[in-house]
Amino acid sequence: MPRLTALFVLCAALAGCGRYAVRPNEKEFLADPVMAFDGDPQEASADDHVLTNREGAAGGAGAGGGGCGCN
Amino acid sequence: MQLARTASLVAFAAVVSIGVAHADDGIDVNTTWYQEQRQGGQGGLTVIHPQLDATVDVGEHSILSFGYAADAVTGATAKVYAVDAVSTATPFSDLRHEGNLGLAFAGRRSKLAVSGAVGVERDYLSLSVGATGSVDLPGKNTNLALAYSHARDQVCDKSNGELQPLERRALTGADPCAKDYGVFGKDTVDATMTLATTWRDLSIDTAQGTLTQNLSPTTVMQLSLYGQVLDGFQSNPYRQVRVGPNEPQEHVPDTRARVAISIKLNRYLRKLHGAVHLSGRAYSDNWGVTSGTVELAYSQYIGDSLLLRVRGRAYQQTAATFFKDAFFYETESTAGAYFTGDRELAPVRNAVIGGKLTLLSVAEDEHKVWGLFDRVDWNLKTDVFLLDELPADDEAANLGGRATQFLTSDQLLDAFELQLGLRTSW
């Protein structure tokens, strides 16, 4: 658990370096639907439903969103 | 019961997806057909899983969402985990209903959503509530999200009173599982006024933090840290394990704490008009199960109205500390206080290969799709599952073998899934 937390904090810190990486007028491709994480919640839910009945692990699928990186 | 235990786990996915599905009003319908091979001559396992979800704006900043899903399950299950579990295969069927309701409030840079869900079937009940909040940091290249849910589940069980684990009897399909108001479990008594069945509690608390970061004009990354604590009855009440000369109900610990970390990366390929998707996950829990998952997918636009996605996924896990191959439960007794015949707690490798085809229809100028919608997507998706069961104990000393300890043993090509979906927005 401490190792996982440390890895998460490290990755988060590295990701924070990209704050100014993309300007608003450069987000055309990021806004494309194929760039969304879990862009189809029903498909993701159905897949999780199957996999958690075949595997002992569960969770960690993320919270959707992505693409343009904005709400 | 076969699919019930995941209901609350999947309900968490519904919590974190509130408001994600649509920026506009919309209705999504999807039906999944899952088919698994099983030994024993009682047929395979068939699951039909229809879903309907709707999202409606109820004011400038509020989004109401509601949904319904069902599981119709028929197939074969092994009554006793033993070297020859195949000979104990029996047919069963079950039907689960689930409804959910959510409300999201969206600001210029933030969103807050609350939701609740109810799941009902003959022998399993689930009530859950949850909340998720997300905010864009300045520059709108970084999004932070936090989600939490609490589920209060009830599992129908044979009344075993003060019996010791090796004496406990398993529930059968003929045992009554009564309810109050359809969503609260109610104990039952038999003709001699002795307690026949009771409902056992299970609470599930789940939390997740997610960071989404734009790395370049064509690359976005997501990191997630996930934790969950389950406290209560987690055995399958129907499953028996052959331990020496006895066949008691399986017995697993009451508390399970699990943690997972995942990373995802999407990169758009301008010249190809497609995108590549990479993800990885590491998982660990206090029952001793550790696992790793990697997935690679590719999306390709074909003209203006078709999108093809192909994917491959590989997964491997270790066994729970108290899991044994059936031969060793039969000849050496248990590993400590617990014993189980759950394949999910065995060492397995699982691979998935699949594809999805989407037919895209987008309104142009004032011409709505079918005269009504801004967007209509038809989805057809299929996955093939390959399973490799690994030994949990010394293979050379296993004189009984592992080929028939699970109904699914000895079959590399294990299952397939077919989904047909329709997504609309207006």
Distance from CA of B275 to the nearest CA of A (A): 7
The CA distance from B196 to the nearest CA of chain A, in Å, is 29
| Percentage above 70 pLDDT, chain A | 55
For residue B265, name the pLDDT band (cuts at 50, 70, 90). Answer: very high
Single-letter residue type at B297: A
Q: Report DSSP letters for B33-94, one per residue.
A: EEEE--SSSS--EEEEEEEEEEEEE-SSSEEEEEEEEEEEEEEEEESEESTTGGGGEEEEEE
Closest CA relative to residue B241, chosen from B233, B232, B249: B249
Between CA B379 and CA B233 the distance in angstroms is 38
Residues of A in contact with B137 (CB under 8 A): 19
With an 8 Å Cβ cutoff, are B348 and A43 in contact?
no
pLDDT of residue A12: 57
What would the pLDDT profile of B99-116 be if each residue is shown by its tens digit? Answer: 999 999 999 889 999 999
- Taking residue A60's Cβ as centre, other Cβ atoms within 10 Å add up to 24
Q: What is the largest CA-CA distance in chain A?
A: 44
Instruction: Please tell me which residue of chain A has the smallest CA distance to B297.
Output: A34
What would the pLDDT profile of B398-421 be if each residue is shown by its tens digit?
Answer: 999 999 999 886 677 889 999 999
Q: Residue B226: which of A15, A54, A62 has the closest Cα?
A: A62
> What is the average pLDDT score of chain A?
73
Residue type present at position B181: Y
> What is the distance in angstroms between the Cα of A17 and the nearest Cα belonging to chain B?
9
Q: What is the C-alpha to C-alpha distance for residues B164 and B162, in angstroms, rounded to an integer?
A: 6
Mean pLDDT of B168-178: 92
Q: Which residues in chain B have their CB less than 8 angstroms from residue A10's CB? A: none
Condensed to tens digits (0 to 9), the pLDDT of residues B303-357 reads: 989 999 999 999 999 999 999 999 999 998 877 889 999 999 999 999 999 999 9
Taking residues A17-38, report their average pLDDT: 82
Whether residues A63 and B134 touch (CB distance < 8 A) is answered with: yes
Closest by CA position to B8, among listed B108, B195, B149, B103 = B149
Contacts of A51 in chain B (CB under 8 A): 315, 350
**Contact between A34 and B268 using a beta-carbon 8 Å cutoff:** yes
Q: Inter-chain contact A43–B379, Cβ cutoff 8 Å?
A: yes
pLDDT for the residue B139: 87
Measured between beta carbons, which residues in chain A are less than 8 angstroms from residue B211?
A: 11-12, 15
Which residues in chain A have Cβ-Cβ distances shorter than 8 Å to B16? 62-64
pLDDT tens per residue across span B19-74:
454 557 899 999 999 999 888 888 889 999 999 999 999 988 999 999 999 999 99
Q: Find, among B196, B186, B120, the residue nearest to B153 by Cα.
A: B120
Instruction: Identify the CA nearest to A31 among candidates B356, B44, B266, B102.
Output: B266
**CA of B296 vs chain A CAs: smallest distance (Å):** 13
Q: Which of residues 78-97 of B touch A (CB under 8 A)?
A: none
**In order of start, what are the domains of chain B with their CATH numbers?**
4-425 (2.40.160.40)
pLDDT, one tens digit per residue, over B371-400 is 888 999 999 999 999 989 999 999 999 999
Segment 303-362 of chain B within 8 Å of chain A by CB: 307, 309, 315, 317, 320, 343-345, 348, 350, 356
pLDDT of residue B21: 45
Q: What is the mean pLDDT of chain B?
A: 91
Give mean pLDDT, residues A44-69. Answer: 74
Question: What's the average model confidence in pLDDT over B236-248?
Answer: 94
Given the cut 0.85, state whether the ipTM is greater than it. yes
Percent of chain B with pLDDT over 90: 76
d(C-alpha B50, C-alpha B166), whole Å? 40
- Specify the amino acid at residue B212: T
B121 — contact with chain A (CB < 8 Å)? no
Tell me the pairing of strands B255-269 and B219-232.
Answer: antiparallel
The structure's pTM equals 0.89
Residue B16 pLDDT > 60: no
Q: Quick check: B421 contacting A, CB < 8 Å?
A: yes
